[in-house]
Amino acid sequence: MERKTVVVVGHGMVGHRFVEALRSRDEAGAWQVVVLSEEKLAAYDRVGLSSYVGAWEPSALALPGNEYAGDALVDVRLGVKADAIDRTARKVTTSSGEVIGYDALVLATGSYAFVPPVPGHDAEGCFVYRTLEDLDGIRAAAEAAGPGAVGIVVGGGLLGLEAANALRLLGMTPHVVEFNKWLMPAQIDEGGGAILEKLVTELGLAVHTGVGTSAIETVAGAPVSERLSVKFSDESELRAALVVFAAGVRPRDEIAKTAGLEVGPRGGVITDLGLQTSDPNIYAIGEVAAVEGVCYGLVAPGYSTAEVVADRLLGGAGEFPGADLSTKLKLLGVDVASFGDAHAKTEGALSVVLHDAAKGTYAKLVVSDDAQTLLGGVLVGDATQYSALRPLVGRPLPADPAALISPAGAELGADALPDDAQICSCNNVSKGSICGAIADGACDVPAIKSCTNAGTSCGGCVPMLKKLLEQSGVEVSKSLCEHFSQSRAELFHIIQSTGIRTFSGLIAKYGKGTGCDICKPTVASILASTSSDHILDGEQASLQDTNDHFLANLQKNGTYSVVPRMPGGEVTAEQLITIGEVAKEFGLYVKVTGGQRIDLFGARVEQLPLIWKRLVDAGMESGHAYGKSLRTVKSCVGSTWCRYGQQDSVGMAVLLEKRYRGLRSPHKLKLAVSGCARECAEARGKDVGVIATENGWNLYVGGNGGLTPKHAVLLAGELDDETLIRYIDRYLMFYIRTADRLQRTAPWQEALEGGMDYLKAVVCDDSLGIAADLEAAMAKHVEGYRDEWAAVLEDEGKLSRFVSFVNAPEESDPTIGFDDSGERKVPVLLGIPDIPVAVAPQLPGVTKVAESATHGK
């Protein structure tokens, strides 16, 4: 067989993909490949160019396999440019003077950065943003100018914003100049652009839209940081150290033009869908190709063109399939997504827009004239719905378009999604492959995880996996654990109606086995929610997770942290001094928590009662900063001091914290009270958020942090104190009685059949007729509450449990160590040290010591 030669001009991402595709399919070795690369580096990830900033490590961007090591059929010539094509003789002349004959020629020359013809555009200090060398030059200029110097980016598109971020990372003050009225005009609309501008401005970028650059002049004698004077179309002027042009790219088609190939009116080598140019032996791929007249400036369509040509050279008949120009990216940490007909160019297309300036999000859906079909959309600030919406383009809408983009609106159900919808974006797993796994016998979430990888990274898609299981008819077990087939809510009802007050009694009658770390704390919580016994009383003590067990937070080295209760965040000077003294005396690390409290870290078990005693004496409780219980009620300053305050938020926060302290629930509970709509207490991020208005309190519920943060939603408005408390009582008790184990308030609310309307009816209108019962249950809790830590101090039996060793109550655990040498006290995990220790002879409950202790080795 006679081997043929294909010459590839250009070794960018697409050129490399072509070589890979050809070599992996050309099993017979029909083609010898010669690659000419003008850059001295083999193909690298140009899309990831910005990640070069900071590390400055070119090899990190190298594309895998770009050396074709050991492949005799690929010959890469770096730093060699193709100068001319002789189509008649089928020969390429290179910059090194060589002449290479070809059977097929593939143009993969890509594009060059477009520099607008501004006078002075070639002054020293002017750059483009295209290659690693460009970035090296920008870096040198930025460093010469010093920190804070102004750098101007001409162009506010995707690349311009990337360039601006690079300047920011280099310590410069970036200004972005965009000729259009808004940023990223190619991808997003004016409304999205406005939000994007606001968001990036907050991140330190200066943005000038609707402005052209009219001249760049070098200022004689000026310092490097101000060596350029840049003049704009609005007559303004800026002094800058450097200018980066990121105003778009143009196909590098000059070699094709010279060779007489047909090019498009706006550049690009014209090809058919097989990527064949006007010369049948020459193909064009990637950004230099104008496929049926259209150039695509994205890597994904470029890769498609490479695959098509590899197929064609091996006798296939592949055609360019068209391109999905949807994009989702994080620019400077801001989510931006654009998909389908984002600009509503389809005839009769309608737009539905949700513009939340306060939250900094913009969402637009473009739908057909009958509002039945999704055509495209734009998401700025929050693009979480992108993966669910993009696959729906061209298909019927599953719900009202406004509901699909509204934060409180419909979450897209599993059945609304087509098979190619990406469910797990971390591992790129589609709905189709998950449903396939379920059909093949995966019957629970762990099984889906192990056969598809979905849900194994961030876990954000696990709720969707459950929905898919439910939808496919797999019954997702509601059993609490292997010992109880009931759900938490069912166990709650059993305990409530039977009056069983022991775990052993409950498991004997309603469960099996001896329990575990799932059901025991759950039952402990239910018992605590239904009575006011001390949580360490009798058998109940053995059900508590370690935090409730020792009434403090377990830290990684086995010590505990103590967070004194400061209701509403209020504290007296005397109390602060006590906290400081305790910290000093016990050598504790001190940190202010996220909930306006003071956390004291590093207490040994035996120190806990001593610390509590000091706090009790100063009028403080230890505080529930642990367990599934009320943590804190955060507050702002309120009307007493704040000139904007409309109500006494501190007073209300103190009242609420005292009312609900000690309340055990399915998950931890946090509350906050803000004194006005400025929301300084961030109340809408809490399970219960109270915000003052001039006419009373607005009550928000179901704000959660965690993996999928949710804002609280309005339950009732303009309430007086009494109604507010009554509604919170009902809400919390209804949650405690009906939620699943570890189910936070937001998912609980969402899972309620009938949703918020139902919840409002239950809480505000008493539609179930249980309001009095819920209030009574809460009243019982409030009345029965006692300081749990003080109760331990008063009880010798309980107190005796607070030792490191049952047989050596005076000993501290010798494995606990700290590193005090740095600014921050750090626990040191020692492993298992072999330290000789004296064993104290006094054993609890032992009157006569049968065997005297000796010193160990």
Partner 1 sequence: MTVIDTPGTATSITGWTQACRQDYLIPGRGVAVLLKGGRQAALFLTADGTLFAVGNIDPFGRAAVMSRGLVGDRGGVPVVASPLLKQAFSLIDGRCLDDESVSLPVYAVRVENGVVAVSNDPLVFQGGTA
Q: Which residues are annotated as a binding site?
A: 636, 642, 676, 680
Among positive and negative, which fits the CA dihedral 263, 269, 273, 279?
positive
Contact flag: residue 814 with partner 1 (CB under 8 A): yes
Among 770, 807, 818, 826, binds partner 1 (CB under 8 A): 807
Backbone angles phi, psi at 463, to 5 degrees: -60, -35
Residue placing its CB nearer to partner 1 in the complex, 229 or 807: 807
Contact flag: residue 602 with partner 1 (CB under 8 A): no
| Residue 191: partners with Cβ closer than 8 Å, 6 or more residues away | 353, 355, 362, 364, 378
Q: Give Cα separations from 757 to 714, 752, 762 (angstroms).
A: 11, 10, 9
CB of 478 to partner 1, least distance (A): 20
Backbone angles phi, psi at 598, to 5 degrees: -115, 120
Stretch that binds partner 1, among 255-263, 345-353, 402-410, 554-562 (CB under 8 A): 554-562
Report 624-683 residues binding partner 1 (CB under 8 A). Answer: none
CB of 482 to partner 1, least distance (A): 7
Contact flag: residue 839 with partner 1 (CB under 8 A): yes
**Whole-angstrom distance between the N-terminal and C-terminal Cα of the chain?**
81
What type of residue is 275? L
Output the six-digit token pair for 613. Answer: 């005693």
In whole angstroms, what is the distance from residue 492 CA to residue 777 CA?
Answer: 13
Specify binding-site residues for [4Fe-4S] cluster.
Answer: 636, 642, 676, 680
* Helices 503-510, 519-530: crossing angle, 10 deg rounding: 120
CB of 857 to partner 1, least distance (A): 6
Stretch that binds partner 1, among 450-458, 551-559, 580-588, 644-652 (CB under 8 A): 551-559
CB of 839 to partner 1, least distance (A): 6
Contact flag: residue 851 with partner 1 (CB under 8 A): yes
Among 226, 545, 606, 718, binds partner 1 (CB under 8 A): 545
Contact flag: residue 853 with partner 1 (CB under 8 A): yes
In whole angstroms, what is the distance from residue 405 CA to residue 402 CA?
Answer: 6
Task: Say if residues 700 and 706 touch (Cβ distance below 8 Å).
Answer: no
In whole angstroms, what is the distance from residue 668 CA to residue 745 CA?
Answer: 9
Task: Say if residues 286 and 306 touch (Cβ distance below 8 Å).
Answer: yes
Among 229, 425, 811, 825, binds partner 1 (CB under 8 A): 811
Contact flag: residue 836 with partner 1 (CB under 8 A): yes
Among 278, 453, 557, 767, binds partner 1 (CB under 8 A): 557
Output the six-digit token pair for 793. Answer: 């101090």
Q: Give Cα separations from 459 to 354, 409, 429, 588, 707 (angstroms).
A: 28, 22, 13, 35, 8
Q: Which helix (H) or strand (E) holds 591?
A: strand 589-592
Contact flag: residue 549 with partner 1 (CB under 8 A): yes
CB of 433 to partner 1, least distance (A): 27
Contact flag: residue 59 with partner 1 (CB under 8 A): no
Stretch that binds partner 1, among 57-65, 629-637, 736-744, 837-845 (CB under 8 A): 837-845
Specify binding-site residues for siroheme.
Answer: 680
Among positive and negative, which fits the CA dihedral 28, 32, 38, 40?
positive
In whole angstroms, what is the distance from residue 390 CA to residue 174 CA?
Answer: 33
Residue placing its CB nearer to partner 1 in the complex, 677 or 846: 846
Contact flag: residue 483 with partner 1 (CB under 8 A): yes
Among 50, 229, 546, 723, binds partner 1 (CB under 8 A): 546
Contact flag: residue 456 with partner 1 (CB under 8 A): no
Contact flag: residue 220 with partner 1 (CB under 8 A): no
Site string for partner 1, 767-806 (x = CB under 8 A): ----------------------------------x--xxx
DSSP-based three-state secondary structure for 286: helix
Number of residues counted as binding partner 1 (CB under 8 A): 55
Contact flag: residue 713 with partner 1 (CB under 8 A): no
Tokens 């097929």 belong to 104
CB of 743 to partner 1, least distance (A): 18
Contact flag: residue 813 with partner 1 (CB under 8 A): yes
Among 360, 558, 696, 755, binds partner 1 (CB under 8 A): 558
Contact flag: residue 610 with partner 1 (CB under 8 A): no
551-590 burial code (b ≥16 CB/10 A, e <16)? bbbbeebebbbbbbbbbbbebeeebeebbeebbeebebbb
Among 84, 751, 779, 849, binds partner 1 (CB under 8 A): 849
Contact flag: residue 845 with partner 1 (CB under 8 A): yes
- Enumerate the β-bridge partners of residue 817: 828
Residue placing its CB nearer to partner 1 in the complex, 439 or 835: 835
In whole angstroms, what is the distance from residue 747 CA to residue 753 CA?
Answer: 12
Contact flag: residue 32 with partner 1 (CB under 8 A): no
Residue placing its CB nearer to partner 1 in the complex, 322 or 538: 538
Contact flag: residue 829 with partner 1 (CB under 8 A): yes
CB of 513 to partner 1, least distance (A): 5
Among positive and negative, which fits the CA dihedral 84, 85, 88, 89?
positive
Among 265, 473, 499, 831, binds partner 1 (CB under 8 A): 831
Residue placing its CB nearer to partner 1 in the complex, 524 or 719: 524
Contact flag: residue 543 with partner 1 (CB under 8 A): yes
DSSP conformation letters of 131-156: SHHHHHHHHHHHHHH-TT-EEEEE--
The strand ranges marked E within 374-428 are 374-380, 422-424
What type of residue is 406? S
| Residue 633: partners with Cβ closer than 8 Å, 6 or more residues away | 567, 568, 653, 654, 656, 657, 660, 670, 671, 672, 673
CB of 813 to partner 1, least distance (A): 5
How many CB atoms within 10 Å of residue 161? 28
The strand ranges marked E within 694-763 are 696-701, 713-719
Residue placing its CB nearer to partner 1 in the complex, 408 or 840: 840
Residue placing its CB nearer to partner 1 in the complex, 434 or 519: 519
Site string for partner 1, 562-601 (x = CB under 8 A): ----------------------------------------
Contact flag: residue 857 with partner 1 (CB under 8 A): yes
Residue placing its CB nearer to partner 1 in the complex, 78 or 829: 829
The pairing of strands 249-251 and 150-154 is unpaired
DSSP for residue 827: E
| Residue 467: partners with Cβ closer than 8 Å, 6 or more residues away | 413, 414
Stretch that binds partner 1, among 154-162, 386-394, 435-443, 812-820 (CB under 8 A): 812-820
Task: Say if residues 540 and 523 touch (Cβ distance below 8 Å).
Answer: no
CB of 554 to partner 1, least distance (A): 6
Q: Which among 273, 298, 285 is positioned nearest to 10, based on CA atoms?
A: 285
DSSP-based three-state secondary structure for 23: helix
Site string for partner 1, 733-772 (x = CB under 8 A): ----------------------------------------
Contact flag: residue 446 with partner 1 (CB under 8 A): no
Q: Give Cα separations from 325 to 187, 272, 344 (angstroms).
A: 9, 20, 14
Output the six-digit token pair for 240. Answer: 């800058």
Among 19, 275, 290, 808, binds partner 1 (CB under 8 A): 808
Report 485-524 residues binding partner 1 (CB under 8 A). Answer: 504, 513-517, 519-521
- Residues lying near partner 1 in the complex (CB under 8 A) are found at 482-483, 504, 513-517, 519-521, 539, 541-543, 545-546, 549-550, 554, 556-558, 801, 804-808, 811, 813-816, 829-837, 839, 843-846, 849-851, 853-854, 856-857
